[in-house]
Structure 1
Amino acid sequence: MWGGLQVFSLPQAASAFVRGLFVAVATFLVVYALSKLTDVLFAYWAARARRTATKLDDQVVPILAKVTKAFLWGVAVLLVLQNLGYDVSSLLAGLGIGGLAVALAAQETLSNFIGALALLVDRPCEVGDRVDVEDISGTVEAIGLRSTRIRTLDGTVVSIPNRKMADAKINNFAKRPTIKNVFTVGITYDTPYEKLQEALRILREVLEGHPSTHNYWAYFKEFGPYSLNILVIHWCKYTDYQKFLQATEEINLEIKRRFEAAGIEFAFPTQTIQLQGLPPLGKG
């Protein structure tokens, strides 16, 4: 068609129309090819999204696909109108003003959607993760386009807008490799030196022998106000909090049993009071 326009002489109006028609058809074919390529790319992304635990990407991918295709066809329409001789500058100005009005009206909705995209890309948390978000602690139940829902330890559901989630400090307990447990074992001051050494040996044997142990420390740290204090730090391999509590319970019960068998006494707060200057009983 383009070669024919160069060979044959047509009236100016007809030539302009044919050129415009040629550009329109070429633009349609190019945009159609790009649209099909977009379908292929987003279909691959959607297949990957279905394999993740979160449903957020399952919702976002189709929306992004539609927005991308709408943008391509919008550009194509503008190119065709421009080549047909229409002034698209006024149309673009009108669209810009209208778009600005819509953006201002839907500012929070758009910011929440952008926050959802940030959560999708950065992935600071996923569905099922135990998290602390500012002063809220619980398990992520759902990540939507507008908000993220967290089931607190009290059983209530808190919805946090995604724009706040994207800016918040998120402490994700599910990402940690271990749970660190720090506690002090205090034994009485009248414990002999040999028994204190035995207490340290018992603690180290119990911690080393438990299947949940990733690493541990057990050291005689200080002379406390009413006890000889042994600092114990246990890194538990179980990141599920209930399993961690079960492991901690087993360790504590075994320490209690071994200390009782060895005759080692746990200390508790005590005070010794000396009274001076009082007359003996029976004397006025």
Structure 2
Amino acid sequence: MVLLSDFPQITVADASLPLQQYLPSWLPELLAQQFILAYWQWIAIFIIVLLGFIVDKWLTWILTSHIRRWKKKQSVSNIDDGILRPVGITAMAIVWWGLLGLIGLPATGQQILAAVVQLLVSVSLIWGIYRIVDIFHLFLMEKAKRTANRFDDLLVPMLTKSLKAFVIIIGIIFAADNLNIDVSSLLAGLGLGGLAFALAAKDLLGNFFGSLTVLLDRPFQIGDWVLIDDVEGMVETVGFRSTRIRTFYNSLITLPNATLTNTKIDNMGARRYRRMKTQLGLTYDTSPEKIEAFCEGIRTLVSLHPYMRKDYYQIFFNEYNASSLGILVYVFWETPDWNMELRERHRFLLDILRLAKKLQVEFAYPTQTLYLKQSAAEMAMTDDVALNMTNGLGKQFATDIVDNQHQADTSRLP
């Protein structure tokens, strides 16, 4: 029977010593044997590494559960459950650093351990700040969606991308410094190669300054309908290198920002009013009274439709066409987007059609009129007599029309 007295007793003086000095004295002799390190040290390394992984997974599970409950409570869905994953990696590195230092690793092992822990802490710190920038981005985007101004929709993504680039650069310098890499010589080397880098990155710098031009000059905003050269669609994102436009056939076109500084940009989304210019063709047998009533009815429709511009529009009998009487309809809508414009145009055109049905006004379509040859008795009149008679009738009818219209206008005067 193995008794407790068979094991070496640990005195108060032994307890004050480092673990690696008094622990081998009460371990079996087999574990005190060595292969580079003592066997018990290999076992301790395995247990400590495993313990670090367990702490990482346990802490990640707790934080993920809290994030999920918070998302459910706040009705938020665009935050990743593992956004706090770097905290678990940091805890694992701390466990390794704290416990592996107790087992008496040699100096080389201590240096390797320090390098690994510093690398893990640096990576987790950079990763953690990077994810904090994501949270900052989501918070600002929620604020931007509540504002009527769409400039912040353009500014927030560019700001968060700048912060991420800054975090990565500073993180690399921080990690290199912790690993005892000479950062000053590295930066000096970058300074000496700055000219070559600038020449090689000419397009990159051009795109960067193009993005600054878009940000400062604001030729368009996120969601605007734009026409840039032969590219037409809705602005989806603006980055430091390129601008992405979603076309109306749902493809995604990427334009380098450098091209935006020297090309024509037609911002259809910046229009205050949306115009429609068309001609309605009436049949030639439409009476003048019906034409007047029809035009006045369309003007009334313009005044009654809520989104139509009331201070400027043109509704007039405008042209004699080959097979119709042309009514000019020149109107505007004050609508925020294309969908509403189409809806209001649809309502307006349907109301015009209903008005034409009420007034019994018919729309013309291309026609040809055939005249039959007159009989010999009707053609006996000489050309001179026919011309004089026609001219006399034309003058008489014209004089009567002007006189009647003048009398009607005079009677309406106060």
- Please say if 1:238 is aligned against 2:335: yes
Equivalent residue number for residue 250 of structure 1: 347
Letter paired with 2:153: A
Alignment of 1:90-169 (within 5 A): 98-169=193-264
Q: CA shift at 1:222, angstroms?
A: 1.0
Letter paired with 1:235: F
Q: CA shift at 1:240, angstroms?
A: 0.7
String of CA shifts for 1:93-113, please: whole Å, max 9, x gaps. Answer: x87762210011111111111
Kindly indicate whether the alpha-carbon contact (under 8 Å) linking 1:179 and 1:239 is maintained by their aligned counterparts in 2: no
More strand by share: 1
- 2: distance between equivalents of 1:172 and 1:105? 33
Q: Give the secondary structure class of the aligned counterpart of 1:128.
A: coil
- 1: distance between equivalents of 2:199 and 2:252? 30
Q: TM-score, normalised by structure 2?
A: 0.46
Provide closer, same or farther for how the CA distance between residues 150 and 169 of structure 1 changes in structure 2, counting only shifts above 3 A.
same
Equivalent residue number for residue 405 of structure 2: none
Matched length = 209
Q: CA shift at 1:201, angstroms?
A: 1.1
- 2: distance between equivalents of 1:239 and 1:217? 22
Larger RCO, structures 1/2 (Cα 8 Å, 6+ apart): 1
- 2: distance between equivalents of 1:254 and 1:192? 21
Q: Of 39, 57, 66, which aligns to 2:158? A: 57
Equivalent residue number for residue 365 of structure 2: 268
Kindly indicate whether the alpha-carbon contact (under 8 Å) linking 1:219 and 1:231 is maintained by their aligned counterparts in 2: yes
- 1: distance between equivalents of 2:324 and 2:345? 23
Where does structure 2 lack aligned partners over 5 or more consecutive residues? Answer: 1-136, 145-151, 171-186, 375-414
Query: RMSD of the alignment, in Å?
Result: 2.8
Kindly indicate whether the alpha-carbon contact (under 8 Å) linking 1:56 and 1:145 is maintained by their aligned counterparts in 2: no
String of CA shifts for 1:119-164, please: whole Å, max 9, x gaps. Answer: 1111111111111111111000000111000000000000000001
- 1: distance between equivalents of 2:241 and 2:211? 7
- 1: distance between equivalents of 2:160 and 2:202? 20
- 1: distance between equivalents of 2:285 and 2:373? 25
Provide closer, same or farther for how the CA distance between residues 165 and 106 of structure 1 changes in structure 2, counting only shifts above 3 A.
same
Equivalent residue number for residue 202 of structure 1: 297
Q: Of 317, 321, 327, which aligns to 1:224? A: 321
- 2: distance between equivalents of 1:96 and 1:65? 18
Q: Give the secondary structure class of the aligned counterpart of 1:214.
A: coil
- 1: distance between equivalents of 2:370 and 2:243? 58
Q: Give the secondary structure class of the aligned counterpart of 1:180.
A: strand
- 2: distance between equivalents of 1:62 and 1:214? 45
More helix by share: 2
Q: CA shift at 1:251, angstroms?
A: 0.6
- 1: distance between equivalents of 2:225 and 2:244? 12
Q: Give the secondary structure class of the aligned counterpart of 2:362.
A: coil
Q: TM-score, normalised by structure 1?
A: 0.66
Instruction: Give aligned-pair identity as a percent.
Output: 35
